[in-house]
Amino acid sequence: MIGIFHIEEAIVVNQLLIKGGQVVGHEEVYQPGYILVEDEKIKRVGPMEEVPNDESFHIIELTPDQMVFPGFIDIHIHGANGYDVMDGTMEALEEMTSVLPQEGTTSFLATTITESKEATDQALQNVARFVETDYTGAEILGIHLEGPFINEKRAGAQPVKHILRPDLDQFDAWQELSNRLIKVVTMAPEMEGGQEFVKHLSDQGVIASIGHSDAIYEDVKKAEQNGLKHATHLFNGMRGIHHREPGVAGSVFLSDQLKAEVIFDEIHVNPTMVQLAYQNLGAERMMLITDSMRGKCLRNGVYDLGGQEVTLQDGEARLADGTLAGSVLKMNEAVKNAAQLKPMDLMKLAQLSSGNVAKSLGVDHYKGAIREGLDADLVVLTEDFEVKKTFCRGYLTIDK
């Protein structure tokens, strides 16, 4: 049934009709349009002249300037509102699933950091336990294992002392421990055993994502032949473009298959460089992420990331030496920033914020678009990309 949450009460109705505003559909933008939701799924979508009329519908009317997007999918997020995936507690994941719809995120990958084996064990087991509970809010689609199979030369804010060489047995043990929830692994293919590791991940249907890597062009091309699919936070934590060596970033541009995450907070990457990436990758191969840490939603202060002190000041999270340590970016802010890219339209923005990730994860048959039969994961935005309402699987979880 459709649950409409208003603070402490839930109104249950048979069908929900959202009408008015711009509806960013799978194949076109309806201006204005409607979405009919039934039993957590999108039943119908179309232009207002085709809107069904039934007195039994629970109706939500939008203003002409509001936009309905597919709910955002963040495949790289560590924490928010004082909690982190590495806390390894049910409370941490409960808080994250509750707070993320405030920025329009309806699904995400719980993302780890390079930590001790014991801490990683606990975090993975905790996610596996949590997804079996009857939780509400943003849905955890799996786990993004960021490290520890990375290059210490490009560690960034990843604790160097816990970095490991690519280890098939260790990965398999963690995959088993997580109940096979690991969907993405950030790793460095140039390390000893790295190419075999990429192939091992690919053979298991896990996305190998190059990141925290000092690889050269030949390493990246070989890894791509072995099944490499993604690049983690493009430009950050990787060998950059040089006129004598394309590096990881240049190799991603030269590929016609690799998709790339981008932290578009205008801090991690200069907007002009994001435009350069967009012109090379197109809307089909760029994915907006937050890479946010526990300081998101909180005031300036000192917070923990992987056992390290991180200072949050005026929207920037940094280690004591000045190294960027994740972000406090919200997905709706990333989408607003991406709207500046050219050429851009609402359907391309939906690709960057949900559609591309859904395809990569193999969940596009039920996530990532406003289309009949898919989960009713929806976010209503103002023309300035402020979140007004968020629906998670048909439930109105945010109503501002």
Binding-site annotation: residue ranges for Zn(2+):
146, 212, 233
DSSP state of 32: S
CA distance 46 to 31: 9
Count of all residues that appear for the chain in the document: 400
Tokens at 129, concatenated = 């336990």
The annotation places the binding site for substrate at 157, 236-237, 244, 268, 324-326
298 in Cβ contact with 82 (< 8 Å): yes
The annotation places the binding site at 146, 157, 212, 233, 236-237, 244, 268, 324-326
Supply the DSSP string of 221-284, one letter for each residue: HHHHHTT--EESSTTTTB---BTTB-HHHHHHHH-SS-EEEEE-SSSSS-HHHHHHHHHHH-TT
Is 291 one of the catalytic residues?
yes
- Residue tagged active-site, from 74, 219, 291, 377: 291
Supply the DSSP string of 103-132, one letter for each residue: GTEEEEEEE--S--HHHHHHHHHHHHHHTT
Buried b vs exposed e over 35-62: b needs ≥16 C-beta within 10 Å? Answer: bbbbebbbbebbeeeebeeeeebbebeb
**What one-letter code names the amino acid at 57?**
F
213 in Cβ contact with 154 (< 8 Å): yes
CA distance 213 to 71: 31
Assign residue 214 a region (left: φ > 0; alpha: ψ between -120 and 50; beta: otherwise).
alpha
Nearest to 370 by CA among 138, 104, 102, 68: 68
Nearest to 104 by CA among 394, 370, 358, 380: 380
Phi then psi for residue 102, to 5 deg, are -65, -25
CA distance 112 to 108: 12
What residues are labeled active site?
A: 291
